[in-house]
Structure 1
Amino acid sequence: MKLPALFHSVLPMHAAGAAVCLAATALWFLLGLQPLWGSHQAARQQEAHLQTLRTQADQLQMRLRDTQDRNVRTREALAEGSVRLQPASRINRRLSELTLLATRCQLKVDEIQPGRSHSVIRHEVVPIQMRGSGSYLACMKFLRSLRQSFPDIGTSLIDLKGAPGAPDTSSRFEFTLEWFTAPTVVSK
């Protein structure tokens, strides 16, 4: 069977048209759709990262508010005079008492260091850094006991690192405490 002559004359034109359509589709995919798809994936990853950062920021904001509230309560108690302040010269005794309290709460203290004291209106503040390990529950017990046993100590940093899903496993902790002491009297 012979094909009509007209068909033979338009066959190259149809093949060329199909090739142009195929090339245009490939070009559209390479230059338009593929970069768009890649940027969409990158945007989704950035959104997920942003959500993680927002969650962390919310948690930090809650911790900051809680710490500020505790410090306000401690400062109010100091202003009322209901807390008797000790002199900063008793720092070694206070460090020993803090270490003993931590041990009773089943915390292992690796380091406890006093910082340089600074004066405030009616008292001085001695920062104390505590680092060590223990379970999350032991850390919470220590912080509750700290508030009850030492009303002249506030907290400015609570940093716990570990497995939040397993509260009984050992975690690393870092506390920055603020010991409110009697003002130092300088004799002339």
Structure 2
Amino acid sequence: MSSARSGRKLFPIRLGQPGRYLVGAAIATLIWFPARLADPADEPLARTVVRAGMYGAGWGLLVPLLEYVDRRRRSGTDDLRRAREALRRGVVPAAAADRAELVEQVRIARRGAWTGVLIGVPLFGGLALLAPGVDYPVTGIGFLVLLAVVLAVAVRALVRCRRADRRLAAARPGSAVADGACGFRPGAEQARRGR
């Protein structure tokens, strides 16, 4: 858990995907916009915005890529890895510490999904509407494809969060599900696999 906590010093708000990509793309777009304005080419403001958005969408990919490389470099703690696996599979861990980490991973995933939707729709939707007007119709289609991917990833994350929330609520001590009356026991799937 210490490696996960050390990441909070650099980024105080942890986000799941697609939030990380969208924050990176929005920041890169904001950085590229003044750079494109300073370009000596005399082009309309709308074209400058679309080109800054193109560069921002490309450079925004560095955020999840660097995070992926960093995650591969430092393998992460066992409880974090188990929590991410539990979120993917919808399994409630038996240990209380693992359940607490799963709750944190659900919060991070939900926060990233909603951040992705709230930034992605105005950013890529607006750029997709603006691009054909400045003779970049293929770029407009590209922004629509990016928007569709962002929404698909966000929906997938929210579905996983909802499934994990339902399983966590059902696995609370004292509930019929937690006592095994409904055929579901927390950690039963892990026990079958020998974990």
**When you count helix as a share of all residues, which structure comes out higher?**
2
Under TM normalisation by the shorter chain, which class is it?
under 0.3
* Structure with the larger RCO, 1 or 2 (CA within 8 Å, 6+ apart): 2
Q: TM-score scaled to structure 2, two decimals?
A: 0.23
**When you count strand as a share of all residues, which structure comes out higher?**
1
Considering only CA atoms, is the larger Rg found in Structure 1 or Structure 2?
Answer: 1
Q: TM-score scaled to structure 1, two decimals?
A: 0.24
